[in-house]
Amino acid sequence: MQIIRTRTIGSRVFSVKCDKALEAQGEFLLDLFADTESKAGFLQDGMKIQVGWSILFVHQQDESNVTILAPDYASNPFERTTDDLTETLTVQLEQNYVLKLTGAEGEATLFQDTLISSEQGLDAERVYLERTENRSDGVSGWYLGPAEGGQVDAGELRRYYVFQLLSRRPGALKTLALPKGYVAVLNGEDVEAVLDAEDRNVWPSGK
């Protein structure tokens, strides 16, 4: 079930739409926008605020009402937006959970950043993700490959946008806030192990 949470910020009412299970995350967003307006001044129509892996937009419907929008990953997130923040908040919540369990200091990967993979890697049952570089100029520094069956031929490698994982490998998204030097192993959509920069498995057993 979807809900709409509202908050009066200055002279306007801001609204957030998401699944009820994400109500706390919706309230957090309203707190964030209230804090941002308090510190930076009036949030103009069309202004953008980065929140973790995504960018949110201020959409002023009329003089008194503002809706917070997110990129529409299902169509074209570079040109279209949606008022349903469920996907945006779900991915952010899962990334925060991985960081909490591993004790890692997060490094954001944005939806429009690229990672290197292949069709073989995206379709494999067990995969590993390795962040070999820090994020820079739209390049996430992540590689996703099959955990079994040997290396992928260089000719098969290509760049994918991070948001494309929502339809191809959604479970991988939860690991993409891990910093340079980390490796995550997934079996299906579930995290099997996370190795830190010292090759220590920091993923709790049974999770």
- Structure confidence at residue 207 (pLDDT): 64
Total structural domains within the chain: 2
Which of 89, 6, 101 is CA-nearest to residue 52?
89
Cβ–Cβ under 8 Å, residues 206 and 135: no
Q: Check whether residue 159 and residue 190 sit in a common domain.
A: yes
Q: Is residue 201 part of a domain?
A: no
Sign of the Cα pseudo-torsion (82, 186, 201, 160, in order):
negative
Amino acid at the residue 120: Q
Q: Is residue 205 part of a domain?
A: no
Q: Which domain holds residue 47?
A: 2-91
- Residue partners of 47: CB distance under 8 A and separation at least 6: 57, 58
- Distance between CA 95 and CA 108 in Å, rounded? 10
Q: Check whether residue 118 and residue 39 sit in a common domain.
A: no
Q: Is residue 8 part of a domain?
A: yes
In degrees and rounded to multiples of 5, residue 168 shows phi and psi of -105, -40
Boundary (domain end) residue, out of 56, 91, 126: 91
**Token code pair at residue 31:** 């707190």
Q: Check whether residue 121 and residue 145 sit in a common domain.
A: yes
- Structure confidence at residue 93 (pLDDT): 97
- Structure confidence at residue 205 (pLDDT): 78
Exposed (0-12), middle (13-18) or buried (19+): which is 60, by Cβ within 10 Å?
A: middle
Q: Check whether residue 50 and residue 115 sit in a common domain.
A: no
The three-state secondary structure class of 113 is coil
Which of 198, 170, 173, 184 is CA-nearest to residue 130?
184
Q: Is residue 99 part of a domain?
A: no
How much is the pTM?
A: 0.93
Cβ–Cβ under 8 Å, residues 183 and 129: yes
Q: Check whether residue 84 and residue 110 sit in a common domain.
A: no
- Structure confidence at residue 150 (pLDDT): 76
- Structure confidence at residue 206 (pLDDT): 62
Q: Is residue 100 part of a domain?
A: no
Q: Is residue 69 part of a domain?
A: yes
Cβ–Cβ under 8 Å, residues 171 and 129: no
* Element containing residue 82 per DSSP (H, E): strand 81-82
Q: Please report, in tens digits, the pLDDT of each residue of the chain (207 residues total).
A: 999 999 999 999 999 999 999 999 999 999 999 999 999 999 999 999 999 999 999 999 999 999 999 999 999 999 999 999 999 999 999 999 999 999 999 999 999 999 999 999 999 999 999 999 999 999 999 999 999 877 888 899 999 999 999 999 999 999 999 999 999 999 999 999 999 999 999 999 766
Boundary (domain end) residue, out of 91, 120, 147: 91
Which of 53, 56, 68 is CA-nearest to residue 115?
53
Q: Is residue 98 part of a domain?
A: no
- Distance between CA 134 and CA 115 in Å, rounded? 12
Question: Tens of pLDDT along 98-152?
Answer: 999 999 999 999 999 999 999 999 999 999 999 999 999 999 999 999 998 778 8
Query: 162-171: buried (b, 16+ CB within 10 Å) or exposed (e) per residue?
Result: bbbbbeebeb
